[in-house]
Amino acid sequence: MAERDAIIEASKMIAPSSRVVGFTGAGVSEESGISTYRDPGGLWDRFPEGASGGIMGILRRHPEVAHELFSGLLEKLREAVPNPGHYALSELEKMGHLKGIITQNGDNLHQEAGSSNVVELHGNGYRWRCLECSTKKVFSRDGLFEMAEKILSKMEQFSIEWIIPQLPPCACGGHMRPDAVGFGEPVQNLDRATEEANKCDVMLIMGTSGVVYPAAMFPLIARERGAKLIEINPRESDLTTHCDLFLPGKTGEILPGIVQEIREMRA
């Protein structure tokens, strides 16, 4: 947990700002029970080929684990709810400080906590896109799990030929896939993320290793434009040396304390 002096220092940096942007990675979702892929016991640890080929890389080598893999991912997503860090970011927006969040996460938890301007670099698991016409559809929580469970109930092992006819249909006659970025696919919303990084005067870096590009370039863009960088992370990242302030610990433990400190400054 960060010491009080660091929380006060971070609060003094944020309080006068009306253009704070959050930059979040898998560590923020991990605090809601969604395990990261890279940490010990994570997916890339269990299946090393995933680190270079993603989930599809695992399934190509181990199609027999498809049901286990997808069931596990679905269950974690079903159980996940916004944590205090998500709600603290939403509160900073209501207070007029936070103007946007650039996130590498696709679990919709920032939106569920009330954040309105969320720039998703790697897509969103609740949003699906037609393979033919690119029409997009957003599923509710219940709708997504009901649809996914029907597919899983029929699945024995994975193949592209089997899965495509099982995917939800589009009005054009095609089928829809999750609008999430896989390995080898371009990230989404680069222009919006670049605009947010260029315009912010403080960037909050939270729960990221800082090793995945192009995502990790946005704090560096903000820094080049004169923004202050504040990092909240259990351990130092590849971005720490670029930051003006590093607070060791979890976002859900530290950020609510910063919000409270700013409230007291404004009282």
Return the active site residues. 122
CA dihedral 246, 248, 253, 257 (to 10 degrees): -40
Closest CA to 245 of 204, 212, 199, 215: 204
Helix pair angle (217-224, 190-199), 10° resolution: 40
Q: At a CB cut-off of 8 Å and minimum separation 6, what does 63 contact? A: 157, 158, 159
What is the distance in angstroms between the CA of the first residue and the CA of the last residue of the chain? Answer: 25
Phi then psi for 249, rounded to 5 degrees?
145, -175
Query: Are the C-beta atoms of residues 187 and 212 closer than 8 Å to each other?
Result: no
